[in-house]
Amino acid sequence: ALPTGINSTTGIAGLTLGGGFGWITRKYGLTIDNLVSADVVTAHGKLLRASETENADLFWALRGGGGNFGVVTGFEFKLHRFGPQVLSGLVVHPFADAGKVLREYRAALETAPDELTCWVVMRQAPPLPFLPAEWHGKEVLVLAMCYCGDIEAGEKATQKLRAIGTPIADVVGPNPFTGWQQAFDPLLAPGARNYWKSHDFTELSDSAIEIITTAISRLPGPECEIFFGHVGGVAGRVPADATAFPQRSSHFVMNVHARWRELAMDKACIEWARDIYEASKPHAAGTAYVNFMPEDEIDRVEAAYGGNYRRLLEIKQRYDPQNLFRMNQNLRPKEGLRAA
């Protein structure tokens, strides 16, 4: 297995170039931490191999720097013997209990082993077969967990999380990892309008929890959601300057995911996401995950890369001085270097 995203339809190229995290990242690192080499067509039309020993500066930049340096036509990854069964599933809580659940969730993760990942999803409940019909369409908080190790050890490791509150449903059990990797696919199928806003958090403060729970009480549509990705572990023990991706101290990544169908909902959904982003900014780390940044956040690119920004600009200047590859979270070579 290779650490990839939280669902099975995420494109491997964009995922990798932006960093890449998912259900087994805490145990095996980010997707880029498992990248061995890449074949790259540069702006000058050259085909290069990038690795620790060939074009090492380009290899460093590709691991989190996005599509700024060329077209990657091939990836070579390190894989891990894994599964095929994992302990995984959902614990669904009434949203009325969200504050208490989030505080206990935060406490439970303080001693979580690297094998355990638990994400939080807050939204209106879809018509899942294991949920009582009276909960369909009502606001819920879902703890989505995966333990990538011995099933019996997983039962012990998830005990604190599963003991929180009085859940509506607990469907955690042994599952094929390939099936768990596809569990969220129906909620992320093509065809909807989407707008995302994101923050990194080193901790989930009481103030942030209050802001998030208030926001869920005014969801603009049935497909809108807020989720927290649980990261850290092995990925958090890599030095911030070892790869272009610098957010190694983040313990949670929040994505405010506005998703809707009708043009008439554009304004309400986008403003909802932006309002949450602004309200929670004082409690966030100040960095960002570029794969969660929308196209109107170009001014946030420098903050996303932090101390790695200047080096990325210098590498961009060497490989793409005319900024041919600019339809992305763009590093502007000449302007950026002057400003820096």
Domain ranges, ordered by start, for the chain? 85-292
Report the mean per-residue pLDDT for the chain.
95
Work out the pLDDT band at 298, boundaries 50, 70, 90: confident
Say yes or no to pLDDT of 337 above 70.
no
- What mean pLDDT do residues 31-41 have? 98
- How far is Cα 59 from Cα 35, in angstroms, rounded to an integer? 9
Give the 3-state secondary structure percentages of the chain, helix then strand then coil, rounded to 5. 40, 25, 40
In this prediction, residue 339 carries a pLDDT of 53
Work out the pLDDT band at 318, boundaries 50, 70, 90: very high
Bridge partners (DSSP) of residue 151 are: none
Backbone angles phi, psi at 312, to 5 degrees: -60, -40
- What mean pLDDT do residues 145-172 have? 97
In this prediction, residue 280 carries a pLDDT of 96
* DSSP track, 171-231: --EEEEHHHHHTTTGGGG-TTSEEEEEEEEESS--HHHHHHHHHHHTT-SSTT-EEEEEE-
Instruction: Give yes or no for a contact between 244 and 65, defined as CB atoms under 8 angstroms apart.
Output: yes
Count of all residues that appear for the chain in the document: 340
In this prediction, residue 336 carries a pLDDT of 56
Looking at the domain that runs over 85-292, which CATH code has it been given?
3.40.462.20
Question: pLDDT above 90 covers what percent of the chain?
Answer: 92
Minimal CA–CA distance to 20: which of 3, 38, 45? 3
- What mean pLDDT do residues 201-227 have? 94
- E strand residue ranges, the chain: 35-41, 47-51, 71-77, 85-94, 116-124, 139-147, 169-170, 173-176, 193-201, 225-230, 252-260
Work out the pLDDT band at 187, boundaries 50, 70, 90: confident
Work out the pLDDT band at 209, boundaries 50, 70, 90: very high
- What mean pLDDT do residues 240-266 have? 95
Buried/exposed code over 187-200 (b: 16+ C-beta within 10 A; e: otherwise): ebeeeebebbbbbb
Work out the pLDDT band at 78, boundaries 50, 70, 90: very high
What is the gyration radius of the CA atoms in the chain, in angstroms?
20
Question: pLDDT above 70 covers what percent of the chain?
Answer: 98
pLDDT in tens, 90-132: 999 999 999 999 999 999 999 999 999 999 999 999 999 999 9
In this prediction, residue 288 carries a pLDDT of 87
Q: Three-class SS of residue 80?
A: coil
Other CB atoms within a 10 A radius of the CB of residue 263 amount to 8
237-242-245-251 Cα dihedral, nearest 10 degrees: 10
- How far is Cα 238 from Cα 208, in angstroms, rounded to an integer? 27
